[in-house]
Structure 1
Amino acid sequence: MIYQFISPDIWKKKVMIRFIFSIFTLLSFQSTIAQNLETKINMVPSNWNYSKEATFEKFDNRETVLLNNGRITVKNHKFENGIIEVDVLANGSRSFAGITFRKQNENMEEVYMRLHKSNQVDAVQYTPIFNNESNWQLYKEYQALVSFKKIGWNNLRVEVKNKVADVFVNGKKILTINELKTNQDRGEIGLFALFSNRFSNFKITTTNLLEQKIVDNDISTNSSIINKWLVTKSKLYNEEKFNYKSLYNEDYVEIKTERSGLLPISKHIKKSSSGNFEQNKEEYVITQKNIHVDSDQIKLFSFDYSDKIIVYLNGSPIFKGNNAFRSKGLQYQGHIDINSNKLYLNLKKGNNTLHCIIIDKANGWGLIGKLD
């Protein structure tokens, strides 16, 4: 048997190293627990940023807030990743009730229940809010059929993981948002109601995920999709006074589309009238696409838009359309699809210019197109 002699100094150093390692491990574990701690935000005025749209009161043996046409946010709280949930009182009247998160000024993510739409395909919707404008018409893939409780409370839960969010209603997963549309990875958190809804039991659980900076979507690899447009500033629209001769005299800036080819105009252009849904005034931008061909030819332009459009080719009008919410009936939503409209463009040899006048009131200001 061989005995190894360890000096007292070395032994003390080893003990100290093990002690420090144990403390570090314990602190790391406690930090992880702290960052995953569920926090209940009581429905009392001192916890919320609000104005006259909110009334805090006891109801059904709960602390509640009755929210009428507006948004409120939690005081002194910034949210990045985690779980947000709230109970909403059953409501058969036309109303919208939801959660906003990563709010920075007038831009945010929003998920809401349309409680009067129980058992319909658009009972729950997601929309990014750009410059105080909802954009649900542009993202028809992010809605879901849900059967709401007619009595009692419906629970809405959103689990946010970097650019992805899963949505649950009454414990059942009903929707995955695989690409949150703002470029914000952190911001305020709160509640949203259109018309009147009562909320209770608001909870936040933060999660410790690896940092992942949210960036603009990659450009489409489909060469036929138009992935850049020249766009003007927004102006109030008056059909009688609109001067088509100004098409070539405007100041334009180049804007990239999302990977799908969608140009969400409100994300880049701020209106003078926003946030009032169909009570907004109509505003317009002019978009421009330069097309160069080596010989006279015909190209197929497939496109869609919201709300209205006038298309010009080389200064001549060739199409006018209206795709606004309820423009073709009470149930017409005005969603957009790149294959909804088709025009054959008679292009001359050399440079050609395609202009699209995009006119909008609310619910999604957008353009999408491709050239085949």
Structure 2
Amino acid sequence: MSKLATGLISALLLGATAIAQDTLQYDGETWQVAAADNGAVRVEQALGREALYISRAQAWRRDVDLQDFVLEYEYASTDESGFIGVNWRAADENALEQFYVRPHQSGQPDAAQYLPVLNGIAGWQIYAGPNEAQATDLPAREWIRVRIVAIGDAADIFVGDMETPLLHIADLGSETSGGAIGFYMSDRFWVEGTGSWFSNISIRPVTPQDRLIGESRETDPLPDTLIGNWAVSEAFDEALLDAGYSLPELDDERTRLAVEPNGIANLSRLAGPSQGANTVLAEVTLSAEEAMTRELSFGYSDRVRLYLNGEQIFAGNAGWRVRDHRHLGTIVRVDRVPLRLQGGANVLTAAVSESFGGWGVSASLDSFDGLSIDTD
């Protein structure tokens, strides 16, 4: 299956191994469509109007190349299930902005979600706070209006209520300068027969009268002891970690990566995982005035092995549905481990492996007293 950077349209959610591509005409426009072998894109009558039907597929306006725009559409889900959304500022299939709704989570905190797709990874496990995900009612077989206003580095997203944005994104994540707009619908691989209709689609550049009116929701402040920068290696095969409890021998090439505004280092800013290269080393050097113990609080996705001065001190798996069928794998700093530091330089290394939903790490110490941090 070719990589479809619609985020949730993946082998896991499509349950498919082939993608058919074609074009169709809808509402006077040409749409480029791509459907899995169990999906479809077609024009049909639905709920009293002509609509674009999408099931486990995507439909793109490739003739559109906009950075600042107003997008309006209505959608209606066939069932109370699925991931129904839109990609925009799609520079290519691996770098874009994304918004979608989850009808099966209607009324829940993650009913609607924003995220950037970076290097082909839709990092919903990273962008899961109240400014990226929100509750809203999403009844099936009813037309629901959506409006997205994107200006500069920010966007307002309205769902149903056209007066107050459901989401205000103060810092769009993809850093693309424009691109195509496309709709998609996918679902979990064990759910069959679901789809969505789209209609009344309007895409236009912003005018001087268009404004962003939303405000960011208040979130807990980041700790003063957050590790704000990491030195990150090139990607390698996770199997190299299975040889023992010591770090594998790698070259010394490292790239400095700052954390996102939410305190998470989004490793997909540097690379996307591939077969045989799904793991990176993220490191910091802790210089201690004397021998001491500090507690590290951390979160990660999907798997991590922590090393202090080359020796493994922790291993864990927080991937989607790994711990139980409700486990989402979002990144929160809830795991803890003591760091028994020697006087002088100590290298803390997180070997982070990715499968699905977000590649990242976040960590803070209980105190910086007697410590300095270096990521160079």
1:86 deviates by: 1.8
Structure 1, gaps ≥5 residues long: 1-40, 211-219, 274-280
Q: Match of 2:135, SS?
A: strand
1:324 deviates by: 1.2
Cα deviation 1:201-236 (Å, max 9, x = unaligned) = 2111321369xxxxxxxxx99652212211122223
- Work out which of the residue numbers 330, 346, 366 in structure 1 matches 2:360: 366
1:93 deviates by: 4.5
1:178 deviates by: 2.1
Partner of 2:179: 187
Contact 2:31–2:62 under 8 Å retained in 1: yes
- Structure 1 residues 239 and 209 mapped into 2: Cα distance closer, same or farther (>3 Å)? farther
- Work out which of the residue numbers 26, 31, 43 in structure 2 matches 1:57: 43
Cα deviation 1:27-86 (Å, max 9, x = unaligned) = xxxxxxxxxxxxxx9726951222345522221353432223343321321122232122
Q: Which amino acid aligns with 2:140?
A: K
Partner of 1:332: 327
- Structure 1 residues 175 and 264 mapped into 2: Cα distance closer, same or farther (>3 Å)? same
Partner of 2:68: 81
Question: Matches of residues 149-298 of structure 1 in structure 2 within 5 Å?
Answer: 149-172=139-162, 173-195=165-187, 196-208=195-207, 224-238=225-239, 241-242=242-243, 244-246=246-248, 249=251, 251-273=253-275, 283-298=278-293
Cα deviation 1:233-252 (Å, max 9, x = unaligned) = 22232377445342565532
Partner of 1:104: 91
1:259 deviates by: 3.5
Structure 2, gaps ≥5 residues long: 1-23, 188-194, 210-220, 368-376
Mapped to 2, the partners of 1:140 and 1:51 lie a distance apart of 28
1:309 deviates by: 0.8
- Work out which of the residue numbers 107, 130, 138 in structure 2 matches 1:148: 138
1:358 deviates by: 0.6
Contact 1:133–1:266 under 8 Å retained in 2: yes
Structure 2 length-normalised TM = 0.76
Q: Which amino acid aligns with 2:123?
A: N
Mapped to 2, the partners of 1:52 and 1:362 lie a distance apart of 21
Q: Which amino acid aligns with 2:181?
A: I
Mapped to 2, the partners of 1:221 and 1:58 lie a distance apart of 49
Contact 1:102–1:188 under 8 Å retained in 2: yes
Mapped to 2, the partners of 1:247 and 1:260 lie a distance apart of 32
Structure 1 length-normalised TM = 0.77
Give 1 or 2 for the bigger CA radius of gyration.
Answer: 1
Partner of 1:318: 313
Q: Match of 1:138, SS?
A: coil
